[in-house]
Amino acid sequence: MYCFREILAFFAFATHTSALTDTYDYIIVGGGLTGLVVANRLSEDSNRTVLVIENGYIDSSPNVQVPYLAGVLNSNPPLYQSLVSAPDPQLGNRTFSVAVGNVVGGGSIVNGMMLDRGSDADYNAWEELGNVGWGWKDLAPFFKKVFTFTPPSEETTKAIGITYDKTAYGNGPVQATIASFQYPDYKGIFDAWKNESGISLPKEGFASPLGAFWAPNTIDNVTGERSNARTAYYEPVKARPNLKLLVGTHVDEILFNINSNGGSLRANGVKMTDRNTSSTTSAWASREVILAAGAIFTPHLLMVSGIGPASDVGAANISVKVDLPAVGANFQDHVPAYMTFNLSNLAFPNYSTLATNASFNASAAQEYADHKTGPWTLSRGNALAFLTLPQLTPSYSSLAATASSQTPTDFLPERYATSKPLQAGYLAQRSILLKQFTGEQGYAAAAGELAIQPSNRAAVALQKPLSRGTITLNTSNPHGYPVVAYNSLQNPVDAAILTALVRFNRKHWASPALSRYAPVENVPGAEFVSDEQIMRALNEKAAVSSSFAHPSGSCAMLPRDLGGCVSDQLLVYGVDGLSIVDASILPMIPATHLQATMYAVAEKAADIIKNRG
């Protein structure tokens, strides 16, 4: 039987607070996906010193490395923060676990390993909003820089009908593959999309990410294990003398001084606490403090350090250093609905066999131990459909018209009512969304995702929310967890698009191409037809969530007069020497799982910071 290795001894490379020097060129707060990429690239210059500070620890256990086990990870500590959202009014006032990786490597350690990207229009929208150099043509080289793709075996490719194009990828450190073991029903379930009128089936989704396509996972084809930011960007360079990783350490606040040359505020260090000893110390940055703590904790750290909306920061009895309403605003995530069907006549083995057949699972475990092949090399799936709103519903133009006629502040958080820049930024975003909704030339972007899996699970997810959430301080305990308010589906157009996704998926599963499986809809249930009935059933069955674990947008990269927090050079407005490189900067969430996008963003961010000299 396969004997799992224990968590690796790592303390020879992870630094203890007592071993720190006083000053570094760069301090990176957060050793997750983007933090490790940026740390690797900045420390390529041996004359530059880099300190990375991570709240979590290194974990190389089977739960995060073995694809099958990683596919069933839950959102519990220690790999995640113990964070729960505020009640979500449109989702039955339920609260939700907030999926924030608490481990070296961050989301790349705990995610579902899906590798895809948004459409060209998703990224061109960022540039249209005033971010020079952030459109698709400028980001494309960074996507290629990150990934190396290894195709599945020729036998599997032919048997299942998998298509791919290796030229869409490069020769980067993160490994990606479509596993050579696939359940036999995957072919028929994917092929059913060939009968959907007007839906393209691109050969390679990483080149043409609209339609139904095969997509790899971030798995190393040689080791059969997860490929992640730690294995790709930290492990190969951890012996660099100018790179230090500090684990199990919480950054309490950013420290500042006043520039002698002009009296402006400058970030020059951080105050931090060792989680094991509760001892507090400080470290200093001569060039930049770089925030990579993610869309939840980056705005929180800014606010406890005195940068954010003055009313919120002041209410927590924190001295306001920069009044910046953008901090914690513009918060976005994809909204999933988890449809399920009873399926008959599935082949053996199938997606549920590992969980229901002990002898098959034992055999699969042994095969994985011996050869790193077989069912345990599979994660959650290898096929996706990303569809535009005109493809999802004939009502696309009326939905766009409804959104266009709205007074935005009717559905936005209270903060927007008193901030003209936030309103202006939202209207600029909405203008782009409306063009995407109606399929205007050059604006083709998906409004919805449908997971294609050979199982009874048939998740769909809203990709282009009009609603916006907030990250705010808990005024009674500002240094504790922030208040995460998703405000999911607050705008009724969002709910209408989500129910259109449910109807499309329902119709798809009722098509003749899938009749061999005699599908019977369990969730939400075929008897629920109207928008109101579908949403009520999804809520009552706890089958709709605030988050697809893609939190973003809460420190938006936008011009300041459009409600921005950082410029297109990633520098925080109103303070020198402080930048952000994580998903909080995304002004509009792209229609994709965020992993590949954030690798590319981090690579570009590293170039920008290095070019500052």
Catalogue the active-site residues. 550, 593
Q: Identify the bridge partners of residue 500 per DSSP, sorted by sequence position.
A: none
Q: Is 320 annotated as a binding residue?
A: no
Q: Which residues contact 410 (CB under 8 A, 6 or more apart)?
A: none
Neighbour count for residue 519 (Cβ, 10 Å): 21
Taking each continuous run of H as one helix and of E as one strand, the counts in the chain are 19, 22
Greatest Cα-to-Cα distance within the chain, rounded to the nearest angstrom: 75
Q: Which residues contact 577 (CB under 8 A, 6 or more apart)?
A: 266, 267, 268, 285, 287, 288, 289
Tell which phi-psi region holds residue 439, choosing left (phi > 0), alpha (psi between -120 and 50) or beta: left
Instruction: Label the pairing between strands 457-462 and 448-451.
Output: antiparallel
Neighbour count for residue 141 (Cβ, 10 Å): 13
Q: What letter would DSSP give residue 234?
A: I
Q: Rounded CA gap, 576 and 289, in Å?
A: 9
Q: Rounded CA gap, 601 and 427, in Å?
A: 24
Q: How far is CA 434 from CA 384, 405, 427, in A?
A: 24, 11, 10
Q: Rounded CA gap, 89 and 142, in Å?
A: 39
The secondary element (H helix, E strand) that includes residue 294 is helix 294-304
Let me know: does 180 contact 224? Beta carbons within 8 Å: no
Q: Quote the tokens at residue 10.
A: 């790592």
Q: Is 304 annotated as a binding residue?
A: no
Neighbour count for residue 611 (Cβ, 10 Å): 8
3-state secondary structure 36-68: HHHHHHHCCCCCCCEEEECCCECCCCHHHHCHH
Q: Which residues are annotated as a binding site for FAD?
A: 103, 251
Binding residue positions: 103, 251
